[in-house]
Structure formats: C-alpha cells, structure tokens
Structure 1
C-alpha cells in the first residue's frame, strides 16, 4: 500500500506481540480503541480508512465512533461487526467462547486460537468480554466493506454476518479464497480491495 502512495499506520494493540509486556488485567476494549484514537490524533490523520481483522472489528467501530472527524471508511477483514452493547463474546459461536476461556498462566489472557499464525500471542480476555458503547450511529462513514474468508477448515463463524451484509446496499462485500488470516493467505487480492476503497473516497 505504501508503494502505491498511501500512508499506512499498522498498530500493535496494547498487551499483544511486542507490546505483550504491557498485558495486565485492566487491558480491555477501551484500551485498544484508545490505541487507535491516539494514533489518529498524534499523527493528525484525516479521512482515514480503518481496517480491522477478526476482533479488530470491535476496535475500528469504537474508534470511528470516538473520532468521527478523522475516519472516512471502515474495512472489516473476516471480522465481527458490532453495534452498541455488543461484545466479541456475544457475537461469536460457542466454539470460539471455549477457546477464549482457555486462559494462560497470567489468568488475564486467552491463548492464541489453534489456527492462528505461529507468531500470535495471548489476547487480553477483558477486551473480548467488554461490551462496546457507541455514542452515535456512525452516519459519517462514507464506505463500509466486509471481506469474508471462504477457506476456513471448519464452518466460518462469520458466514451469517457476510450473508446479512451482502444483502445490505450500504455495504460492499468481498469473498476471498483464504483462511482467517487473509493478510497472509491472499495479500495481493486484499491489497486490491484496500486500494479500491482508498481510490473511491
């Protein structure tokens, strides 16, 4: 995307990967939303396209609500699409909930799901349980895209979401022949979608 002239700001959320040393029991959804909002503010970003993968759908929705003057479009990559009062816990299947409850020795983080990339680190469980609180209806968002992964080994937990949004004229939907980690499995196809989102604004 940078090679195409775009400004890209990949974020590592608090408590994950190289920021795993910041993991503690109070790291929650609000923490992660603030990670994104702070980046928008510090970098003075305007007309931003927020891209969220999986649980990241919770985060980009909350950030768009809190910084409406800075966010133009939202792209959900095989992700949850919450409304006010939803949590990641409430939006997934019983199978995912079982995985979430497999906490590590700290007691405050879920172990990486079995199909995740080998580099994945434990995820703060409070962020999966906390309901999202929205102040508005996100009416300022100009474009909403949903990218669905068709290559799950078992049934995808996002099929119903994809089908619902495919019938909604307010959304653009896409299906890519990759597993849940679309960034790894279908990078070129995904880049084309993101380029189209950016070019259409």
Structure 2
C-alpha cells in the first residue's frame, strides 16, 4: 500500500481530486489530497512557496506515512519537487502532472512567457493571483460543466508562492520521477522535464487531454498513477 499525496495547481484545493481519489482508494492505497495554505478551505492563511513545501513535508511525515507517491499538478509540481528532496526514503516516486519543473534559486514565474503579466496581476489584486475567466480553459478537453465547477470553486492564489525562489535540497535528477505530459495543452513538456526524460533519468508519460486531467480524464489519470506507483 502506498500513500498518495495529491497536490493540485494554482487556485485549486483538495476538492480538485474528487474524481481520482475513489479509484486509488479502491486499489487499497491511502490517499491524501491536500489543500495548500491560502487556498480552498485554507483561504486567507498567509503563504509563501516555502509554506507550501512545508505543507507537503508535514503530511509526508505524518504517522504511518511510508511508500509515499507525491503527485504535483501544474503549480503544485513546484513545491512538490522541493518537498521530494526533503521526504527522504519515505518517497518512492514523484509524479509531475503537466507541471513546471522547479529550478534551484529561480521563482515559479521566472520562466513563464507571461511572467510579467502575472506579477502585475498579483500587484493589482492585493498580493494574490486572481482566478482566470472562462476563456482560459478553452481547448483543454473540458466540458462546460467542468469549467463551471472549476471556476465556481477556485480561490485567489497567494502571490508570494509564485515569486519566491525555489530551494532544492537534492538534485531532481536523483529523485525517481514520472512526468505526465498533457498533449492538448499546446506546448511541449517543460524543457527541463524533456531534458531529464531524454537522458533516461525520468519516465515520460503522455496523456491525450488538456492541462486539468483530474477533471477531463480522471480514470485514465488514476490508472497512470497506480501503474507508476507499482513500477519502482
């Protein structure tokens, strides 16, 4: 039995994994979807990126936590990648789902083409990145109902988590990692993920859906997570 720690991307909380959790539990695993500080039911809690790293590390250190499979989607991959180096031998696999790969000393937005616009939006909205409009989700293999659910439950994302530099205590190349690339998201995988996958250090898995597979293809995503947890 593995302990799955599920970390969703910007604006989202533990609720984003509702359609994935039952299949992982049915396979006999302990599943813990996380809401990071400042998001979802923790809205209003002050948070930096280092706070989110500690949220994850704390859950991985909980009593009985062994054979941890840490899953980070989108932004969630940035604190998850840092936490992975702090979990030690309890971690069996890191899974990054269409996520930016954290770079030591660089902020999350540093490599984004729209990083300047994101920083400006954070400044204009009291230090938080506001959830996007409906058009942001177009072409991502989501139904109108799924888009509405995402928009209705999204919360502003704490801006400091996007601008604080990452701190990697251990090179990501040393951590057993699977990168799930969502093909309908347009761009190819994160350049660093492509490099590590080409070098044989990471496993690259492709999923024919958009950037939010926990909504658009939850069954396929759950099957990939179960397979990756088994192949250690």
TM class, shorter-length:
0.7 to 0.9
Is 1:102 the counterpart of 2:149? The answer is no
CA distance in 1, matches of 2:39, 2:164: 17
Is 1:17 the counterpart of 2:44? The answer is no
CA deviations 1:102-121 (Å, max 9, x no partner) are: 23876121012343621211
Distance 1:162 1:36, change over 3 A: closer
What RMSD in Å do the two structures reach over aligned CA positions?
2.2
The answer for the alignment partner of 1:7 in structure 2 is 30
What is the deviation of 1:165? Answer: 4.0
The answer for the alignment partner of 1:144 in structure 2 is 177
CA distance in 2, matches of 1:157, 1:28: 28
Structure 2 gaps, min length 5: 1-23, 138-149
Q: How does 1:8-157 map to 2 (within 5 A)?
A: 8-22=31-45, 24=46, 27-94=47-114, 96-103=115-122, 107-114=126-133, 115=136, 117-118=150-151, 119-138=153-172, 141=175, 143-152=176-185, 155-156=186-187
Task: Check whether the contact 1:150–1:179 (CA below 8 A) recurs between aligned residues.
Answer: yes
What is the deviation of 1:166? Answer: 3.9
SS in 2 for 1:69: helix
Distance 1:93 1:83, change over 3 A: same
Task: Check whether the contact 2:75–2:99 (CA below 8 A) recurs between aligned residues.
Answer: yes
Structure 1 gaps, min length 5: none
The answer for the alignment partner of 2:219 in structure 1 is 188
Distance 1:53 1:176, change over 3 A: same
CA distance in 1, matches of 2:37, 2:120: 20
* Aligned residues between the structures: 194
TM-score in terms of structure 1 length: 0.86
Structure number with higher helix proportion? 2
CA deviations 1:126-153 (Å, max 9, x no partner) are: 0000111122225763x3111111113x
SS in 1 for 2:54: helix
TM-score in terms of structure 2 length: 0.75
